[in-house]
Amino acid sequence: MSVPPPLGVVELGRVPYHEAHALQRRLADRLIAHDLDHDLLLLLEHERTVTLGRGTRESSLPLATEELTRRGVTVAEVERGGDVTWHGPGQLVGYPILDLTRHRQDLHWYLRTLEEALINGLGRLGIPAERNPGYTGVWTGGRKIASIGIHVRQWVTTHGFALNVSNDLADFGLIIPCGISGVTMTSVAREPGAEPGGDLPARVVAAVVAGFGEVFGRSPVPMTLGDLLAEGTAPRAGA
């Protein structure tokens, strides 16, 4: 029985949204062209950014895009599904770049599995998380803690999830998050079930990576961006 290829995990730090978007496309192109022989999970955070998915409604933006820009918020129209969402410092953003032909060619399955990966990771942090029937994303105690929006081209995925860790939740007041009126947003740091102590961002990354690897059946292997961009590279154990 053949061993599935590993999952290359790249922690990028804080990256401007448009740069990360271009990087995703570049890597997806390589996976489509079979220039990469493994899946990827990019982990990063952005400056204050509002992204408008294909399902964004006018009612989801109480403020005009010009006003958001005036307030120092980047506004980006993107090809992912879903409504409007917010990114900013203190939030863990994950961009899985997966070849679904190696998993399951089913977008509903992929969305539910992304949710399961985050539920698994949050459970490792002591936070009981769940789905909210009829919506995409992850909740805990009726509060939304993670948003999900994806794009798939030739069965290769881009975009992904945004997990609130220690970010300022007040910025969600600038939008109607994911177009859901009355939603209450929360974060890992706000939840009483979260186990105290240690470096919270690092603990969250470790938990999410472990959950992601378990649910998708891949062994996570750390990579650097330099490794990734090298021609013909593959993840190496202990890299």
In this predicted model, what pLDDT tens digit does every residue of 71-87 receive, in sequence order?
A: 999 999 999 988 899 99
List the structure tokens of 206.
């470790």
Return the bridge partners of 149, or none: 160
Q: Give the Cα separation of 95 and 179 in Å (integer).
A: 21
What are the CA-CA distances from residue 97 to residues 150, 153, 187 (Å)?
10, 11, 25
Q: Nearest-5° angle of CA 42, CA 45, CA 48?
A: 140
Q: Helix-strand-coil percent breakdown of the chain, rounded to 5?
A: 30, 25, 40
Residue pair 12/93 in contact by the 8 Å Cβ criterion: no
The pLDDT value given to residue 234: 44
Q: Clarify whether 178 is annotated catalytic.
A: yes
- Amino acid identity of 64? A
Q: Give the Cα separation of 154 and 105 in Å (integer).
A: 10
Q: Give the Cα separation of 202 and 92 in Å (integer).
A: 10
CATH topology of domain 7-226: BirA Bifunctional Protein; domain 2 (3.30.930)
Catalytic option among 178, 194, 200, 228: 178
Query: How confident is the prediction along the chain (239 residues), in pLDDT tens digits per residue?
Result: 567 889 999 999 999 999 999 999 999 999 999 999 899 999 999 999 999 998 888 888 888 889 999 999 999 999 998 889 999 999 999 999 999 999 999 999 999 999 999 999 999 999 999 999 989 999 999 999 999 999 999 999 999 999 999 999 999 988 888 777 788 999 999 998 666 666 899 999 999 999 999 999 999 999 998 887 774 544 443 33
CA 142, 200, 220, 14 dihedral sign is positive
